[in-house]
Amino acid sequence: MKHCFAFIWLMIILIVHQTNAQQTTLYTQYMFNGLTINPAYAGSQGGINSSLIYRQHWSGIGGSPHTTTLAVDSPLGNKRMSIGGLLSQDKIGATTTQNVNVVASYRINLFSGTLSFGLQGGFNSVAVNFADLTSFLPDPALPNETVRRSSPNVGAGLFYNTDHLYVGFSAPRLISSELGDPNSTLVVEEKRHYFISAGYAIELTHLLMLKPNVLIRATEGAPLQADINLNALIMEWLWFGLSYRTQESVALITEVQLGKTFRIGYSYDMITNSASNITNGSHEFMLNVFFENKKKKIKTPRYF
């Protein structure tokens, strides 16, 4: 109860002082769900690819964030064009953020791989239910209603991949904006985000594959952050991984490939910064469903 009270009070301070900044959720299992950070990833799997991801941040704290995302993409027949969509909802305390994006990409052959150019466009909506806050800490300065703000946004990315290598650069939010009036109770700042990602699959034996990968994230007004990961694929159906996120956490990752269609993943983040004393860590669940393009058989396992 003490942690819950402190968290709600922190939320009120953030809102009243107009410092609520909207940031892109970064999943621990992003390396298996590239569309969440890069629109150019659309169509790279060669079939209809969909992922449902749920993340519970900082478990053990009342009102802690939890995020749900649905990502779907597919090539258009045998053409180089691909389309997709992203739906996400993030809730932290009395604040709910919803994002809707339509994605399109175009692929060309380059050297021994494929280079993809991607664009996305949509809108972000942020709502704060002040009634939830005032029910805990009555304050006449706060409105007793839900306040909502919305804005459009666009993003772009590049993605190059072979059977064993990928490199990507993306900016899923290119518009930096401020929602609301500076004199209003709610002002939401949307910052630009930039991602650089790379990974390589190393075949040690026919039963064991290692996949090191790295992700660097730059956000305006925030410190540079990096994810350093190592995943092992055993017998082409079982993944085990370890991930380190600078200034934040260490994570354990496991994924199970059920045939060619289904993949189930789970990760647990152990917090390493000052928040480790008040939280039990973060949990993330993923369900991936993939339908292979019958006209273009996939010859290698899906490493990325």
Q: Residue 174: which CATH number?
A: 2.40.160.40
For residue 55, the model assigns a pLDDT of 93
Residue 129 lies in a domain: yes
Number of domains within the chain? 1
CA distance linking residue 16 with residue 128, whole number of Å: 12
> Parallel, antiparallel, or unpaired for β 262-271 and 282-292?
antiparallel
For 83, the domain range is 38-292
Spell out the per-residue pLDDT of the chain, length 304, in tens.
Answer: 444 444 444 444 344 333 344 466 779 998 888 999 999 999 998 899 999 999 988 777 766 788 999 999 999 977 799 999 999 999 887 788 899 999 999 999 999 899 999 999 999 888 877 666 655 555 565 566 777 888 899 999 999 999 899 999 999 988 876 655 444 555 566 778 899 999 999 999 989 999 999 999 998 878 899 999 999 999 989 999 999 999 889 999 999 999 889 999 999 999 888 766 777 889 999 999 999 876 655 555 567 7
Residue 16 lies in a domain: no
Residue 26 lies in a domain: no
Residue 56 lies in a domain: yes
Residue 245 lies in a domain: yes
For residue 17, the model assigns a pLDDT of 36
Residue 66 lies in a domain: yes
Residue 17 lies in a domain: no
Here the tokens at position 72 are: 């779907």
What length does the chain have?
304
For residue 4, the model assigns a pLDDT of 47
For residue 84, the model assigns a pLDDT of 97
For residue 146, the model assigns a pLDDT of 73
Secondary structure (H, E, C), 224-259 = CEEEEEEEEEECCCEEEEEEEECCCEEEEEEEEEEC
Pair 284, 301: CB distance under 8 Å: no
Residue 302 lies in a domain: no
CA distances from 77 to 41, 45, 80, 297 (A): 17, 13, 8, 13
